[in-house]
Amino acid sequence: MTDSNKTATLTVHGETYELPVHSPTAGPDVIDIRKLYGQAGVFTYDPGFTSTASCDSTITFIDGDKGELLHRGYPIDQLAGKSHFLEVCYLLLYGELPTAAVLEKFETTITRHTMLHEQMQYFYRGFRRDAHPMAIMVGVVGAMSAFYHDSTDIADPHQREVASHRLIAKMPTIAAWAYKYHIGQPFVYPRNDLDYASNFLRMCFAVPAEDYEVNPILSRAMDRIFTLHADHEQNASTSTVRLASSSGANPFACIAAGIACLWGPAHGGANQACLEMLEEIGSVDRIPEYIDRAKDKADPFRLMGFGHRVYKNFDPRAKVMKQSADEVLDLLGIEDNPKLQVAKALEKQALEDPYFAEKKLFPNVDFYSGIILEAMGFPTSMFTPIFALSRTVGWVSQWKEMIADPQNKIGRPRQLYLGETTRDYVDIEKR
């Protein structure tokens, strides 16, 4: 944040107050209201905090009008096209792209932290077999503080570093084991000779009865999904992680809180909702009917996976994800999958329809990631856990930044109270 000599004038009940205005390196100016209550005795009212900056950060910047997403200044399409997930992890955590030697050391560190404590197997078995994988992930990640006592002291920089590496390294194993437990198959252990995405795919789809070879096209597509979901500024789950950590809670509890928030269908469940929509449409010949319904303002139906709350132009992640979707569908085919047939036809018809172009309702990252995950064989119940796996590095980076911030204080939002004023208690026999 860059201080300036700018000020904003606010008049309250006839009294005028000068409020500092801060100019960021990118984005709109920010009015500093921290002393407003002390000076004027009033709060601001902003449900959803959509007009409120809760922190300053140097990690991610989004310009929704331009369709721009930057990680430490690097455009997401460049990172997804030229880099890979662990390099982006390093960038988010430390602020700069690593040299080849530094990246090799970082990758080795992450790879050698992928195994879980053996006793955590028994923790999984405490869940019902039909438990949702997200329910398992919330519980298992929260329980990590019971297994890794040497990385819960947030005041110790070394312990913060170890916790960061452990969370990024172990999340694929946690997610894959949640999937294996859900479908009743034995757990598959990680291997140090595989890259991050390949390891995850193997742990999800390998079985003891036969060897499993990871297809490089699928591995690359999986890596891109991880990269494109790595961080997204101060969204609901990231804000949850920051709010939880402001109390001094251990890192595993904070990330578990983020997973719980991501579970909501308005946040992490968007690609699952997209696949459910494709299933509802059912067949290619019904697409015109649903496109007409989407145009009808009186009809509650909406095309899921089109448009984005933040991006008013286009989702910069979607172009790269579409490339991966095309590669995966070329590899695996769509002939035997009605949902994928509907997805390809819907994408084509919507992009050719002037209505959607005028409204800027283009396919977004959730539309294409859902197609990819469906084609790979993941059930929709695993879509959000994979999102959580991807977003862990963003949560961890934001958590580390907040802990090191000297302005850090426990979060305490205010309220506009509309309840009863003081009234006297009435004895029960007189009511």
> Helical H runs in 333-377?
338-352, 354-358, 365-376
Type and span of the H or E element at 394: helix 383-403
Residue 1 has pLDDT above 70, yes or no: no
Q: Which two tokens stand for residue 306?
A: 């089109």
Main-chain dihedrals φ then ψ at residue 421, nearest 5 degrees: -85, -175
What pLDDT shows up at residue 3? 55
Report CA-CA distances (Å) from 204 to 118, 143, 185, 207: 18, 22, 10, 9
Report the C-alpha dihedral over residues 249, 252, 257, 259, rounded to 10 degrees.
160
**Exposed/middle/buried for residue 211 (C-beta within 10 Å: 0-12, 13-18, 19+):** exposed
366 is catalytic: yes
Mean pLDDT of 166-180: 98
- DSSP letter at 410 equals -
Contact criterion met (CB below 8 Å) for 82 and 76: no
What pLDDT shows up at residue 26? 93
Residue 157 has pLDDT above 90, yes or no: yes
What pLDDT shows up at residue 315? 80
Report CA-CA distances (Å) from 312 to 97, 306, 359: 29, 11, 9
> What is the Cα 198 distance to its own chain's centre?
21
What pLDDT shows up at residue 274? 83
Residue 335 has pLDDT above 80, yes or no: no
User: Which residue, among 206, 216, 147, has the nearest Cα to 179 in the 3D structure?
Assistant: 206
Residue 336 has pLDDT above 90, yes or no: no
Residue 141 has pLDDT above 60, yes or no: yes
Residue 337 has pLDDT above 90, yes or no: no
What pLDDT shows up at residue 356? 85
Residue 321 has pLDDT above 90, yes or no: no
What pLDDT shows up at residue 281? 93
Pairing of strands 68-71, 74-75: antiparallel
Angle between helices 85-94 and 196-205 (to 10 degrees): 120
Name the least confident of 16-25, 62-71, 152-161, 268-277: 268-277
Instruction: Give residue-wise pLDDT tens across range 198-234.
Output: 999 999 999 999 989 999 999 999 999 999 999 999 9
Candidates 229, 231, 308, 315; catalytic one: 308
Instruction: Give residue-wise pLDDT tens across range 359-379.
Output: 888 888 888 888 899 899 999
What is the chain's mean pLDDT, rounded? 92
The 3-class secondary structure across 133-179, one letter per residue, is HHHHHHHHHHHHHHCCHHHCCCCCHHHHHHHHHHHHHHHHHHHHHHH
pTM for this model (two decimals): 0.90
What pLDDT shows up at residue 4? 57
Report CA-CA distances (Å) from 164 to 85, 170, 352, 421: 15, 10, 45, 47
Instruction: Give residue-wise pLDDT tens across range 80-123.
Output: 999 999 999 999 999 999 999 999 999 999 999 999 999 999 99
Greater model confidence, 156 or 366: 156
Q: Which two tokens stand for residue 399?
A: 């958590």
Instruction: Spell out the domains of the chain, with CATH numbers in brackets.
Output: 7-53 (2.20.28.60), 79-404 (1.10.580.10)
Candidates 366, 405, 424, 427; catalytic one: 366
Greater model confidence, 1 or 257: 257
Can you tell me whether residue 268 is helix, strand or coil?
coil
- DSSP letter at 74 equals E
- Tokens 């101060």 sit at which residue? 234
Contact criterion met (CB below 8 Å) for 212 and 202: yes
